[in-house]
Amino acid sequence: MESKPTPNLPASFVSQLQTVLDPQGISEFLKGLEQPTPISIRYNTHKHVGPDAGLTPVPWCPTAYYLRERPSFTLDPLFHAGTYYVQEASSTFLYHILKSLELPTASVALDLCAAPGGKSTLLSSFLGTSGMLVANEVIKSRAQILKENTIKWGLGNTVVTQNDPSHFSGLGGIFDLVLVDAPCSGEGMFRKDPAAIAEWSPENVALCAARQQRILDQAGGLPKPGAYLIYATCTYNRKENEDNIAFLASEFAYEPIRVPLEASWGIVESEIPVDGQTFFGYRFFPHRVRGEGFFISVLRRAGGEERELNLTKEFRHDHLKRVPSKAIPKEIESQLIGTEALQLYQLGEGYFALDKERQAIFEKLSQALQIRYFGVELGQAIRGEWIPSHEWALSVLEKENIPRLNLSLEEALSYLRKEAISADQSPKGWLLATYMNLPIGWVKNLGNRVNNYYPKAWRVRS
């Protein structure tokens, strides 16, 4: 790949760099912005697809790899099947942090500013079937994108919410981990997104820093005693990074966590003194790492009494209701493996499945928050007819007694475009459409034609 021209950076931004880089470092940083933007993806290990031979691994995340060039992800059915997520390499450092922490096996995590979902899907994979993630986004349009990416990832251990951080105030002390990937001035995106340069100003940095402090003021009391808070931005400046860690540590009782690093990674550690303690931040520069600009820090909340949530005998909700075992639709009982470990809920005509181990905390969340999605939607029972959901197709929940329609690449793309496809030699009724043995949705074979049930809003238009 050819180098890019040096971006025209505001003089006040270059001057600001002097607080985090020496003159030689600034010169190397500016040259780094001329280099091509690295492209990386992170695989969904629960969907059993591995990297192509010869791809270079991202050193701090074993499921992330650099691509040689940017392909057309839109025209890859495996992308739509949720087998990987296109994620900037620096942000996958979250995996290394999680691996270094002492988290309980059945952890409950909160991603407070979660859209579009890169770090949420990473958290979802790390938590696995025993943990639970609350992925929150306050902006409605972004919450919809977060929901779609959660559905594609398909693990069923995530609750997507759309709430202001202040709405979590009554839920303090129930989370083992809180991630605040705060909205920021976007300095780390200058190479990737030139529009971020035009939007940058010292005034916007100050505005972002004030907004971040308001979020941290709400988030600081949410981790349980002994639990962790991770703060991240895609900026370089100290106002949005070190100064906010100092604010958090001075307002709440937190202890510093130092993350082990390999020198070859090129990550820069900074020290943040607060009231006799030294906290740590980790900064990613594009001239030192193969990735974009990023900052992250980890703190542990001081000890105290933990909160215990118990399952209530009755569950009262304006829209949701528990589904007793005797009322589970026969299609679910015959086609879904492991229903005894799941609690089903009904929302309108739709049925949702959630691990019973997470039932108490989910029901607590549902009383306090605006839930956009949770667990796995299995389908709807409409006028006596069972219509399986696209969410169930993409989920990793084990399915049986369901005929499959294996599609070629050309057929899969036709399906994703919501075009007509054939199902010769296939039985009539519902078929699970697959590509390379991975589900991508449903079709219904009527004999004389095949109805394509790929979601209209998701269809590929290219």
pLDDT in tens, 36-45: 999 999 999 9
Same-domain check for residues 291 and 319 = no
Q: Classify residue 154 by its DSSP letter.
A: -
Same-domain check for residues 141 and 239 = yes
Residue 3 has pLDDT above 70, yes or no: no
Mean pLDDT of the chain: 95
How confident is the model over 246-264, as pLDDT tens digits? 999 999 999 999 999 999 9
Instruction: Specify the number of domains making up the chain.
Output: 3
Residue 5 has pLDDT above 80, yes or no: no
Q: Is 107 helix (H, G, I), strand (E, B) or coil?
A: coil
Structural domain includes residue 6: no
Residues 6 or more apart from 444 whose CB is under 8 A from it?
A: 429, 430, 431, 450, 451, 453
Same-domain check for residues 108 and 203 = yes
Same-domain check for residues 385 and 408 = no
Structural domain includes residue 1: no
**pTM value?**
0.96
Structural domain includes residue 280: yes
Region 130-150 average pLDDT: 97
Of 397, 413, 431, the residue that ends a domain is 397
How confident is the model over 325-360, as pLDDT tens digits? 899 999 999 999 999 999 999 999 999 999 999 999
Structural domain includes residue 421: yes
Q: Which helix or strand (DSSP H or E) is residue 12 part of?
A: helix 11-16
How confident is the model over 176-226, as pLDDT tens digits? 999 999 999 999 999 999 899 999 999 999 999 999 999 999 999 999 999
Residue 113 has pLDDT above 90, yes or no: yes
Q: Could you give the CA distance from residue 384 to residue 44 in angstroms, rounded to a whole number? A: 36
How confident is the model over 267-308, as pLDDT tens digits? 999 999 999 999 999 999 999 999 999 999 999 999 765 656
In the prediction, which pLDDT does 53 show? 82
How confident is the model over 51-75, as pLDDT tens digits? 888 899 999 999 999 999 999 999 9
Same-domain check for residues 20 and 60 = yes
- The stretches of 106-241 forming alpha helices (DSSP H) are 118-127, 140-153, 195-199, 202-219
Same-domain check for residues 368 and 408 = no
Same-domain check for residues 124 and 57 = yes
Q: Classify residue 335 by its DSSP letter.
A: H
Same-domain check for residues 178 and 233 = yes
Kindly report the CATH number assigned to the domain that includes residue 391. 3.10.450.720
Percent pLDDT > 90 in the chain is: 90
Percent pLDDT > 70 in the chain is: 97
- Of 22-31, 164-173, 274-283, 311-320, the one with minimum mean pLDDT is 311-320
pLDDT band at 311 (very low <50, low <70, confident <90, very high): low
Instruction: Tell me whether the omega of the peptide bond preceding residue 7 falls within 30 degrees of 0, making it cis.
Output: no
What tokens does 272 get? 């943040």
Residue 1 has pLDDT above 60, yes or no: no
Q: Is 126 helix (H, G, I), strand (E, B) or coil?
A: helix
Domain containing 270 equals 11-301
Same-domain check for residues 443 and 410 = yes
